[in-house]
Chain A
Amino acid sequence: MALLEVAGIGKSFGSTAVLRDISFTLNEGEAIAIIGSSGSGKTTLLRCLNFLETADTGSITVGGETLWSADDIHTQSEAAIRKKRLHFGLVFQNFNLFPQYTALQNVMLAEQLLAKERPDYKQHKKEILAEIEAHARELLADMGLSDRAGHYPHQLSGGQQQRVAIARALALKPDILCFDEPTSALDPELTGEVLRVLRDLAANKTTMIIVTHEMKFARDVADRILFMDGGVVVEQGPAKEVIDHPKEERTRQFLASYGK
């Protein structure tokens, strides 16, 4: 059974339909890349999955549990949604690190706040906090940022900031990690270090959804590709097949515009 099942997601802003009947599945350990031109609905889809936008139709199921369904009002309360968000992690295009915290504090914050809800928190506060810090340092080390743990975001390059943001998203061990154009806000010479991290994550079988404009990267790293245009999924299939031998005319046109 697929880890994630997205069925019939639709979303309109006013009279503009941004997403129409989006359905796809994602298996554990798989990476899926979503490609398409600006305004095709890719980002809105990710935001619906992370409950930053509420879809109008459809359902989102993770590990057999229906997290959200347009037909079931019980899945839509704010308190219920907060916990369900934790199934997903999201890395933003603009990093959105918290400027008043160091890299390490950025990675630790959410875990520290969640730990307060544990029944044994008061009793074992010291151990729990030490564990969280060790975990955060480990994540920063994985990102090659051990020596930047005490730096504030404005003291880091864009690529470093994005790697801190990835560590922060990983800290809560989400089932599915989503990336919203993670390299689009970076100078060209800094995209490499972030893409390298994504390659490592894919090699370690992290379940991921990556919205990207890096076609070569999508072809090499993603297991599957979903091509969106005008709010619908035009074509989906194994990454190399979609990029090298697209079946749909619109996919061909889009890839041609990228010189591929």
Chain B
Amino acid sequence: MSEAGVIWGRLTEAFWLNCQLFGLTLLFAVPLGLIVAFGSMNRFAPLRGAVKTFVWIIRGTPLMLQILVIYLGPGLLGFTSPWPSGSSGRLVAAVVAFAINYACYFSEIYRGGIEAVPKGQTEAGQVLGMTRSQIFFKVTLLQVIKRILPPMGNEIITLVKDTSLANVIANKDIIMMAKEYSAKGLIWPLFSTAIFFLVFVGALTLLFGWLEKRLAYFR
């Protein structure tokens, strides 16, 4: 195989790490964000305050810093590191940091979406004898999803590109791989990484456009 072919292959391999991080972060952050959202809307003021403070801290500090703190913090504080050794441990730590960070951003989008559903929808469900969970799942949820699709699309596209921040704890992602080549004087692999991100984001854009169209049947 030509040298260029080998490099493309290794970039693709490294991009798989970005994809894994993307998928795992979504898997955990989407439901976790809902829990955080309910916490920030809770009637119990101390809980609400604690959750809002947490969201402030997470949204108020760089994700890169959070990755470092989560990966290195326990060891620096004298605890044994909770992360498995080697590359799998670095990936797990990154997933934890990303999931917490994105859950906080998602929670604010969810909260906005939930609060935008008119109160009359809940009341209509109540007078029809529905339970709280029936009202949430059968009445409110789809209306919330419809409202949050555009901002969620935005946030998820940001996540695709943020995944390369994981290389701060030596996760060998596509950017890190490409930089190794540029250190050796070969610059084109670094610029070529843009193609991977563009294709991925293009597919997501199409997916979100399709989802929005699917939910356009009601207002």
Contacts and interface: CB of A to CB of B under 8 A. Distances in A.
Contact of B142 (A50, A92, A100, A109): A100
Interface in B128-155: 128-131, 134, 138-139, 142-143, 146
Contacts of A92: 120, 123-124
B213 interface: no
Interface residues of A, number: 27
B143 A85 contact: no
Contacts of A97: 124
A145 B219 CA distance: 21
A8 B187 CA distance: 83
A231 B126 CA distance: 25
B129 A114 contact: yes
Nearest to B117: A99
Contact of B120 (A83, A96, A113, A168): A96
B60 interface: no
B121 A83 contact: no
A88 interface: yes
Contacts of A88: 127
Contacts of B124: 92, 96-98
Contacts of B125: 110
Nearest to A52: B123
A36 B70 CA distance: 63
Nearest to B140: A98
A96 B123 contact: yes
A96 B129 contact: no
A96 B121 contact: yes
B120 A172 contact: no
Contacts of A85: 126-129
Nearest to A47: B123
Give the dominant DSSP class at A's interface.
mixed
Contacts of A113: 129-130, 134, 138
A52 B127 contact: yes
Nearest to A97: B124
Contacts of B130: 82, 110, 113
Contacts of B138: 109, 113
A99 B68 CA distance: 46
Interface string A89-121: 110101011111000000001100110000000
B160 to A, nearest CB: 30
A152 interface: yes
Contacts of A110: 125, 128-130
B217 A152 contact: yes
A99 B143 CA distance: 8
B46 interface: no
B127 A99 contact: no
Contact of A82 (B129, B143, B217): B129
A113 B136 CA distance: 13
8 smallest A-B Cβ distances: which pairs?
A110-B128, A96-B120, A96-B124, A154-B219, A90-B127, A99-B218, A100-B218, A86-B129
Interface of A: 50-52, 82-83, 85-86, 88-90, 92, 94, 96-100, 109-110, 113-114, 152-154, 168-169, 172
Interface of B: 118, 120-121, 123-131, 134, 138-139, 142-143, 146, 217-219
Given A96-B124, A110-B125, 15 more contacts: A52-B127, A82-B130, A85-B126, A86-B129, A90-B127, A96-B123, A98-B121, A99-B143, A100-B143, A109-B138, A113-B129, A114-B129, A152-B217, A154-B218, A169-B128
